Amino acid sequence: MNLLKLFKSTFQSYFNKINLNERISLFKRANSYISSHYHRLCSYLNPIRELKPNKQRRGRW
């Protein structure tokens, strides 16, 4: 069993134990943590995500 499968099974067993409100607060905390610690990365990725694929960019992506 590799490390990713072990992490997934551990996280799934933990995730199944908590109720819906705790899941929502967990995702909110994770989202705020990621956005605060990786603000530069998010500000770099947002314009890329907003780009719509057109004929000129299709070959590059």
pTM of full prediction above 0.75: no
Q: Cα 27 vs. chain centroid, distance in angstroms?
A: 9
Mean pLDDT across the stretch 22-44?
75
Q: What is the pLDDT of residue 28?
A: 84
**Interacting residues of 61 by C-beta distance below 8 A, sequence separation 6+:** 53
pLDDT band of 17, cuts 50, 70, 90: confident
Mean pLDDT across the stretch 37-46?
66
CB atoms within 10 A of CB 26: 13
Supply the mean pLDDT for the chain. Answer: 70
> Which letter does DSSP use for residue 1 in this model?
-
